[in-house]
Amino acid sequence: MLQHFDPNKDYGTPARLSENLITLQIDGVAVTVPEGTSVLRAAAEADINIPKLCASDNLEAFGSCRICAVEIEGRRGTPASCTTPVEAGMQVNTQTDKLARLRRNIMELYISDHPLDCLTCPSNGDCELQDMAGAVGLREVRYGFKGDNHLDAQKDESNPYFTFDPSKCIVCSRCVRACEEVQGTFALTISGRGFDSTVSPGQDQPFLDSECVSCGACVQSCPTSTLMEKSVIDAGQPEHSVVTTCAYCGVGCSFKADMKGSEVIRMVPYKDGQANHGHSCVKGRFAFGYATHEDRITQPMIRDSIDQPWQEVSWDEAISFAAERMRAIQAEHGRESIGGITSSRCTNEETYLVQKLIRAAFGNNNTDTCARVCHSPTGYGLKTTLGESAGTQTFDSVMHADLVMVIGANPTDAHPVFGSLLKRRLREGAKLIVVDPRRIDLVKSPHVETQHHLKLRPGSNVAFVNAMAHVIVTEGLEDSAFIAERCEEQAYQAWRTFISEPQHAPEQTEAITGIPADELRSAARLYAQAGNAAIYYGLGVTEHSQGSSMVMGIANLALATGNIGREGVGVNPLRGQNNVQGSCDMGSFPHELPGYQHVADDAVRSRFEARWNVELDNEPGLRIPNMFDAALDGTFRGLYCQGEDIAQSDPNTSHVEAALKALDCLIVQDIFLNETAKFAHVFLPGSSFLEKDGTFTNAERRINRVRKVMPPLAGKADWEVTMLLSNALGYPMDYQDPSEIMDEIAALTPTFTGVSYDRLEELGSIQWPCNESAPDGTPTMHLESFPIGKAHFAITEYVATEERSSRRFPLLLTTGRILSQYNVGAQTRRTDNQVWHDEDVLELHPHDAEERGVNEGDWLGVASRAGETVMRARISDRMQPGVVYTTFHHPGSGANVVTTDNSDWATNCPEYKVTAVQVVKVNQPSEWQERYRNFDEQQQALLAKARAEGRGRKSRSRV
């Protein structure tokens, strides 16, 4: 039964899924609801709104406020309707004199310990306590206000985004329960008892010092202004709101942008968001201030060379300057001498347009995207084995899993909202295997503990996954029926012979992976025999020289055990960026047109040629690393880079910098002067996700609408800029609205034929494939067959990476992410998230620290064969000896100066996760850092000059 609920209404208790329907009478109205539903919710569904305070439909019933009391015929007393499940034939009265008196008297007790400052209270107009006081008709407080109270309780303003004012607290525990049930962090509790009960972060600590991860669930659940966004305190209540999609990670949370005119007052996770169901993390919930940060560049700029000052110019000037330069390069160096990089941060429509511009206007296939450096092996590996370049499940599928294996992913930091969902399932009893060199938070956190933490050595993934398969095959744990029915026989037999070979036995691979053989065997048995076993993986799988092999190895495991094609199972890449799935879907790769259709396929190409009215190159173009190499060779001289900071995010920074410097024309389209833009000749101001319409596609293939909540600061949305550039290059583009671009995508992409803005409006979101055979989209893939018919087992021979520890570089560096910062940090560094992580540090094991005489906070030189940088030490037993770790959120820390140009054999995805390094104590920044600082200062000065001149010009023109 599909029932739609009003996402803006709180039904008091969660919906129950039951086939058994119960009919009861509430105030004489017959109401039918699933068994297990509370009386409170049943009434709410019939629009009989019983007053309530401690109940909220994202939390289990608690029964503390007692305001929702009802009378039930044949029963004693006045039970709370939130904790009373419906029963057939029950006759409930929600409005009687007795109840009215009881509710009013309880409210009188509440208000006897509550400040009477409604008119100046930040939640005035949006306060459930106020609403309920009105609803129950409270007219006086006979107790007076001189009794014992909490009115002098001190405010805690330590968190940058919200305040905690305990004088307003009604101790409903909604915040505590949200922290436990929704977020799963257990940072809040009630301390004291009776009248002294107070909400306490940690052990009466300030919020900032507690375990709180600032997900905002507590703030959202607070019925008063006890927990309140500082932005609302400053600006007052919003006057309208727009539902849109977060532009941080690949979870793709839906938010309500609460607005005052064109100013975002707050972002509130949207209850009807099908990826997040009303939950959020610190980034999406609070870190949106970058969109209006003073560093935003809103004026197009040009310059002849990178040592010259920028010149602010009009859009027309900038576009013609760019177009002329690109055409000139092509005229001199040939059609192939320029290319472009699409953005995983921009919308599907924008990404589609950029690759279209490259293929149609540049006339070549030199298009690539940042997925190259993150999930390109996923595309390759899953397409080869399962026939589609995407994860197989919805996020909600995890709630049906009996066992979850997390490989090389750190969801509680990098995909926090999914991390919370996963932890909820684990608290329900699902088992967990974590495969990671580091002790990530999932290994042990409140009420979550992994059954196996397989601490493998960086670079040994494929040996590990082969050993798992070996145990499954040799111990007879395969799902033979599934294999016989769903998998290609010949490939399976070949794989079976291969994987049965003794070198894959865990006793053999132990020396490579460091995972004890008996532990690996029990993990393999657990995975194979769990019932529903699901694999979630991240960049710890893909960013290796054997990334593609590992992805295929994972698919092999799922196939061998029949863990594909239903809820609760599957192979689930956790995509890094908001639209990395979409950018891949949209044909950003040099060899594939939208929908992963190969450029060499004449039939495919001719459809695009007909629609685009242009002849297309049938040869795949350059990948990002090829572009850098070609730039240094002098054969590649012009690049259009939209919304990606390759100078910071790509490996071997010195090499990248040299390549960028070698370009004749670098066009950067971004919201900030990012690291790459410092090498640019044309700067086209970008628009943030708040300033445009479009769609993002998340890690579960879910196409979500992005809606414009404010006008573009620079006057144009990114898709409009690409259109201008294309037109200037002589290839006409004329879209009035992004929906027209989506219509074109749908017409050309077999997996998107059913997608349109109207359908998105209707369904909320759509998981592709969405076409005639799946008009409402496809939540779970491969239910009955694979796009390639039968699934294909792939041979995954383990080949050790060349990057290994040596006497000179005895440690292995692996890089990753942290909760508060996002990717290159361009956004989050321009928010108060800085309080949690204002510099990248090098984590190392106490043993490695002691061996080098390193103390916490010491400056460390980190050197690899690629380069050297300096960062501070953090000594942590999360690490295993011999492995060090850092993040790359701050450009000056130069994490990627150290990473090498080793890459995946199939896709060139860089091997960020394994770099042999040496670490020594130092007392000054590295040579690269000195250079970086000088260059940065120079470029900032050139920008400042341009801005000052621009301001001068404007003020003169006003005179």
Partner 1 sequence: MTGTSVKVFIPRDTTSLALGAEQLAAEFTAAAEQRNDHVQIVRNGSRGLFWLEPMVEVETPAGRVGYGPVTCADIDSLLEQGMLKGEQAHPLSLGLAEEIPYLKKQQRLTFARAGITDPVSLDDYQQHDGFAGLRNALAMSAQDIVDAVKASGLRGRGGAAFPTGIKWQTVLDAVPTDLSGQKYIVCNADEGDSGTFADRMVMEADPYMLIEGMTIAGLAVGATQGYIYLRSEYPVAHQILNEAIAKAEAAGFLGHNICGSGHAFQLEVRLGAEAYICGEETSLLESLEGKRGLVRAKPPLPAIEGLFGQPTVVNNVLSLAAIPFIMDKGAQAYADFGMGRSLGTLPFQLAGNIKRGGLIELAFGLTLRELIEDFGEGTFSGRPARAVQVGGPLGAYMPESQWDTPLDYEAFSAIGAVLGHGGVVVFDDTVDMSEQARFSMEFCVAESCGKCTPCRIGSTRGVEVIDRIRNNENREANLELLGDLCDTMIDGSLCAMGGMTPFPVQSAVKYFPEDFEPKTADGGV
Stretch that binds partner 1, among 166-174, 248-256, 522-530, 889-897 (CB under 8 A): 166-174
Q: Which residue lies nearer to partner 1 by CB, 92 or 499? A: 92
Q: Which residue lies nearer to partner 1 by CB, 110 or 768? A: 110
CA–CA separation, 275 and 765 (whole Å): 9
3-state secondary structure of 88: coil
Does 145 sit near partner 1 (CB under 8 A)? Answer: no
Q: What phi, psi does 614 have (nearest 5°)?
A: -155, 155
Amino acid at 719: W
Query: In whole angstroms, how close is the CB of 143 to partner 1 at the nearest point?
Result: 5
Longest CA–CA separation in the chain, Å = 92
Does 142 sit near partner 1 (CB under 8 A)? Answer: yes
The number of C-alpha atoms within 13 Å of 958 and in the hemisphere containing its C-beta is: 5
Stretch that binds partner 1, among 62-70, 680-688, 718-726, 772-780 (CB under 8 A): 62-70
**Residues pairing with 201 in the sheet:** 188
Q: Which residue lies nearer to partner 1 by CB, 52 or 829? A: 52
Query: In whole angstroms, how close is the CB of 258 to partner 1 at the nearest point?
Result: 30
Query: In whole angstroms, how close is the CB of 535 to partner 1 at the nearest point?
Result: 22
CA–CA separation, 213 and 116 (whole Å): 32
Stretch that binds partner 1, among 12-20, 80-88, 203-211, 749-757 (CB under 8 A): 80-88
Among 14, 15, 75, 85, binds partner 1 (CB under 8 A): 85
Does 93 sit near partner 1 (CB under 8 A)? Answer: no
Is residue 348 within a helix (H) or strand (E), and if so which, with residue range? helix 348-356
Q: How many residues bind partner 1 (CB under 8 A)?
A: 40
Among 17, 21, 29, 109, binds partner 1 (CB under 8 A): 109
Stretch that binds partner 1, among 23-31, 110-118, 766-774, 782-790 (CB under 8 A): 110-118
**Contact positions with partner 1 (CB under 8 A) in 188-207:** 189-190, 192-197
Does 261 sit near partner 1 (CB under 8 A)? Answer: no
Structure tokens at 435: 């495969």
Residue bearing tokens 């295993």: 880
**Contact positions with partner 1 (CB under 8 A) in 576-635:** none
Stretch that binds partner 1, among 79-87, 752-760, 789-797, 882-890 (CB under 8 A): 79-87
Contacts of 686 (CB under 8 A, 6+ apart): 346, 642, 643, 669, 670, 671, 714, 718, 721
User: CB of 275 within 8 A of CB of 249?
Assistant: no
Among 15, 46, 102, 922, binds partner 1 (CB under 8 A): 102
CA–CA separation, 677 and 480 (whole Å): 55
Q: Which residue lies nearer to partner 1 by CB, 98 or 933? A: 98
Query: In whole angstroms, how close is the CB of 67 to partner 1 at the nearest point?
Result: 8
Stretch that binds partner 1, among 76-84, 357-365, 404-412, 877-885 (CB under 8 A): 76-84
Q: What is the pairing mode between strands 198-201 and 227-229?
A: unpaired
Among 22, 39, 56, 62, binds partner 1 (CB under 8 A): 62
Q: Which residue lies nearer to partner 1 by CB, 194 or 502? A: 194
Nearest CA to 719 among 288, 348, 368, 358? 348
Query: In whole angstroms, how close is the CB of 113 to partner 1 at the nearest point?
Result: 6
Query: In whole angstroms, how close is the CB of 105 to partner 1 at the nearest point?
Result: 4
Among 14, 25, 49, 66, binds partner 1 (CB under 8 A): 66
Q: What phi, psi does 557 have (nearest 5°)?
A: -60, -45
Query: In whole angstroms, how close is the CB of 53 to partner 1 at the nearest point?
Result: 8
3-state secondary structure of 549: helix
Q: What is the pairing mode between strands 592-593 and 452-454?
A: unpaired
Among 25, 49, 93, 112, binds partner 1 (CB under 8 A): 112
User: How many other CB atoms are found less than 10 A from the CB of residue 425?
Assistant: 22
CA–CA separation, 38 and 664 (whole Å): 68
Tell me the chain's radius of gyration from C-alpha atoms: 29
Query: In whole angstroms, how close is the CB of 536 to partner 1 at the nearest point?
Result: 23
Query: In whole angstroms, how close is the CB of 443 to partner 1 at the nearest point?
Result: 21
Using CA atoms, how far residue 809 sits from 369, 806, 869, 870, 880, in Å, is 31, 5, 14, 15, 16
Among 106, 218, 281, 631, binds partner 1 (CB under 8 A): 106
User: CB of 231 within 8 A of CB of 266?
Assistant: yes
Does 105 sit near partner 1 (CB under 8 A)? Answer: yes
Residue bearing tokens 């050309």: 748
Using CA atoms, how far residue 430 sits from 58, 417, 422, 526, 647, in Å, is 21, 18, 9, 11, 42
Q: Which residue lies nearer to partner 1 by CB, 137 or 147? A: 147
Does 429 sit near partner 1 (CB under 8 A)? Answer: yes
Among 37, 56, 81, 84, binds partner 1 (CB under 8 A): 84
User: CB of 576 within 8 A of CB of 250?
Assistant: yes
**Contact positions with partner 1 (CB under 8 A) in 341-400:** none
Stretch that binds partner 1, among 140-148, 299-307, 407-415, 452-460 (CB under 8 A): 140-148
Structure tokens at 918: 């040496």
CA–CA separation, 726 and 734 (whole Å): 10
Does 80 sit near partner 1 (CB under 8 A)? Answer: yes
Kindly tell me the sign of the dihedral angle through the C-alpha atoms of 386, 703, 215, 567.
Answer: negative
Helix boundaries (H) for 112-155: 128-136
Does 110 sit near partner 1 (CB under 8 A)? Answer: yes
Nearest CA to 876 among 416, 438, 410? 438
Q: How far is CA 388 from the centre of its chain?
A: 21
Q: Which residue lies nearer to partner 1 by CB, 192 or 634? A: 192
Query: In whole angstroms, how close is the CB of 145 to partner 1 at the nearest point?
Result: 11
- Which residues are near partner 1 by CB under 8 A? 61-67, 69, 77-78, 80, 82-85, 98, 101-102, 105-106, 109-110, 112-113, 142-143, 147-148, 170-171, 173, 189-190, 192-197, 429
